[in-house]
Amino acid sequence: MRAAEMRLPIRSFGIFRRLLAQKQTIRPQRRGLGGAAMRLVQFHRHGDEGGIRVGVEQDSGLGVVDLKAFDSSMPSTVRELLELGDKGLECAQRALASGQCMVQRSDIQLLSPVLAPEKVVCVGMNYRDHCLEQNAPIPKEPNIFSKFPSAITGPYADITLPSESQEVDWEVELAFVIGRRGKHIKEEDALSYVAGFTVANDVSARDWQMTRNGKQWLLGKTFDSFCPLGPALVTTNAVKDPHNLNIRCLVNGETVQSSNTDQMIFKTAALVAWVSKFVTLTPGDVFLTGTPPGVGVFRKPPVFLKMSMYLSHKLCICSRTDMKLKAFIPLKGQRGQTTKLLYGAFMVQ
């Protein structure tokens, strides 16, 4: 679509794995940092908004292991944890296995799994079915744009409908986060640079994206709070196939977007390799991988978000079929005021 995004991490391809079996001279490709399947979160305790912590979520979704309480040498943000490489994720795995230093979900507030990344990289027109809904040709190269990191907001944060726009639209997306530094990364090595996956919404002011600001997308994409992200960063080894995930967005309980990540034109490894030709990727960089069809601007007549509406997202992102990522984003209040963003945690269905 004209306002699409990009991102997503992946694990090794089945085809590549078969090639490894046939050619023993080829070195096996790593899926990402570490070998553990985990759901990493950032949180603060109620009443301590400045005390950001890294947590590892239990399978039940009811408890979170406080990593710094388990090991005081560990950092307080996921970005810093990723900068430690395998050392940091191995500590997180030990903390989860210990069952110690557990805090209840009811006692904390979840934040975006990544705060203040160096880059937020987005891909436009990256779903075949999204191109079809607007009669647009299939891109031959990734269509890259960006959001400012200040657009990121997270679970239970506020989202703002700005008074400058009357055409705020939704775009549910699969996102992935870079786990280690790299430049000119080969596509066959790209997955080893991906730390994990999460869910995002590329909230977009279509008037500013499509008709104003010289039709440059940046301002329409980067209002404060226009990048809800999280709640959990699911490590790459927890995802069976990131390119075969059902993805849905609902407005007021009605499904408006429903597709599968197999519709992506440029897959995770291709995106990492392409973008790293131009910029150095660093731990914590966020990729939004694009949105499926069903956005409001291409409806007849167009539909845009209003104060009384709410969004919910459903994305099965784990290898376990009983785990889904749910996100609920009610929009309330008057335009220009903040509206409560409720972004649910990974939980058993």
Q: Can you read off the two tokens belonging to residue 324? A: 């889904």
Peptide bond into 113 cis (omega under 30): no
pLDDT at position 31? 63
Write down the pLDDT at residue 95.
Answer: 97
DSSP 8-class letter at 345: P
CA distance 64 to 108: 9
pLDDT of residue 7: 32
> Is residue 111 within 8 Å of 43, Cβ to Cβ?
yes
Tokens of 192: 């080893």
* Among 117, 103, 200, 222, residue whose Cα is nearest residue 154: 200
- Residue 127 and residue 125: Cα distance in Å, rounded? 6
User: How does pLDDT run along the chain (349 residues), one tens digit per residue?
Assistant: 433 333 323 232 232 223 223 333 334 455 666 677 999 999 999 988 789 999 999 987 789 999 999 999 999 999 999 999 999 999 999 999 999 999 999 999 999 999 999 999 999 999 999 999 999 999 999 999 999 999 999 866 767 899 999 999 999 999 999 999 999 999 999 999 999 999 999 999 999 999 999 999 999 999 999 999 999 999 999 998 999 999 998 888 899 999 999 999 999 999 999 999 999 999 999 999 999 999 999 999 999 998 767 776 667 764 333 334 444 444 443 444 433 333 322 222 2
* The 3-state secondary structure of 175-222, one letter per residue: EEEECCCECCCCHHHHHHHEEEEEEEECCEEHHHHHCCHHHCCHHHHC
Bridge partners (DSSP) listed for residue 30: none
pLDDT of residue 253: 85
| Local structure of 24: helix, strand or coil | coil
d(CA 197, CA 58): 17
* The predicted structure's pLDDT at residue 156: 65
Model pTM score: 0.84
Three-class SS of residue 159?
strand
Phi, psi at 105, each rounded to 5°: -60, -30
User: Which residue do the tokens 């960063």 mark?
Assistant: 233
Q: 3-class DSSP state for residue 346?
A: strand
pLDDT at 348: 22
Measured CA to CA, the distance from residue 95 to residue 61 in angstroms comes to 16
Q: CA of 338: how far to CAs of 161, 209, 227, in Å? A: 7, 21, 14
The CA-based angle 125-304-160, given to 5 degrees, is 95
233: β partners: 40
Question: What proportions of the chain, in percent to the nearest 5, are helix, strand and coil?
Answer: 25, 30, 45
What residues form DSSP beta bridges with 313? 249, 327
Sheet containing 323-330: order of strands: 254-260, 246-251, 310-315, 323-330, 346-348
Q: Report the pLDDT value the prediction gives residue 147, as an integer from 0 to 100.
A: 98
